[in-house]
Structure 1
Amino acid sequence: MGAQIHSYLMSEDASGQANFYMESLGGEIQFLTTFGETPGTPDAMKDKVMHLAFTVAGTNTLMISDSFEPVSYNRNISISLNYDDVSEASTAYAKLSEGGESKYPFALQPWGAYYGEVVDKFGVTWMITKQ
């Protein structure tokens, strides 16, 4: 039996965060459910995202949901994107950096790969690599 790991993010703005990733990395929404689709949902919650699955940077699936508690990310977990093309990797790094913080500039490393690390404007750490 096999399994796949998918990153599932909790967000204070799931739609905005998903759109930022799709604009930065390319992608599209695969599935979207709002809390308003559940009977008895209070009006204030109707437009909040219950579950959104989307692809980025090819066929990679990310999932995201609005949280009703404050969200804080830390560096204990990072999302790693490995590219075959240095130009695509560099572009992804630059776009994810917009409004965020460069932790490790994207550059050729002593071990022979290109690597960079950025914390995006939502607080998610991305490790971008071109092997």
Structure 2
Amino acid sequence: MGTLKPYLMSEDARAQAEFYTKALGGEIVSIITHEQAMGAQNDYKHKVMHLCLSVPGGSHIFMADAIEPLQHGTGVYLSLEFQSENEARTAFANLAEGGQVKYPFEFQPFGLFLGELRDKFGVLWMITSEQKPE
């Protein structure tokens, strides 16, 4: 069985990862630049070649600075499920700062809390919690 780990290309991986640690919790586990990994001594030497970010629930997001111009896609969401409505609601609000809410975080007829947004870096998120409303 495989383990899915999203890998995001970024215009500024360090800043994006720091935003996610504040928004979601977790921590930046490691950062490796092109200079550290390959001894690069060019314009890319300080760019992030690989960054590992832990997020709640034991998952990880990998990131790197893009070398080529980015085109943000609309076909992929990062879906993050929380054990409690409050945790999910807080993460949703934090990720929405500077971004755009597509669907507010609300209890849905199909039995869970769900909200969708595009964060300030262009990444699409689906935040959920299966906790029933009180």
- What TM-score comes out, normalization by structure 2 length? 0.91
Match in the other structure for 2:41: 41
Q: Which residue of 1 aligns with 2:91?
A: 92
Residue 36 (structure 1) shift: 1.7
Question: In structure 1, what residue type is equivalent to 2:64?
Answer: S
Question: How many residues align structurally?
Answer: 129
Aligned to 2:6: 7
Residue 18 of structure 2 corresponds to which residue in structure 1?
A: 19
Alignment identity in percent?
A: 44
**Is the partner of 1:41 in helix, strand or coil?**
coil
- Could you list the structure 1 runs, at least 4 aligned residues long, displaced by more than 4 angstroms after superposition: none
RMSD: 1.1
TM-score, length of structure 1 as denominator length: 0.93
Counterpart of 1:79?
78
Equivalent residues in 2 for 1:31-70 (5 A)? 31-37=30-36, 38-42=38-42, 44-70=43-69
Task: Give the Cα–Cα distance (whole angstroms) in 2 for the partners of residues 73 and 5 of structure 1.
Answer: 20
What code does the residue aligned with 1:41 have?
Q
What are structure 1's unaligned runs of at least 5 residues? none
Determine the C-alpha separation between the residues in 1 that align with 2:59 and 2:113. 20
- The aligned residue for residue 29 of structure 1 is 28
What CA distance in whole angstroms lies between the structure 2 residues aligned with 1:5 and 1:40? 29
Structure 2 unpaired stretches of 5+: none
Q: Which residues in structure 2 correspond to 1:114-129 (within 5 Å)?
A: 114-129=113-128
Deviations 1:42-81 (A, max 9, x none): 1x32221000011012421000000111212222110001
Q: Distance in 2 between matches of 1:129 and 1:49?
A: 30
| Alpha-carbon distance in structure 2 between the residues aligned to 1:39 and 1:84 | 43
Rounded Cα–Cα distance in structure 2 between residues aligned with 1:80 and 1:53: 18
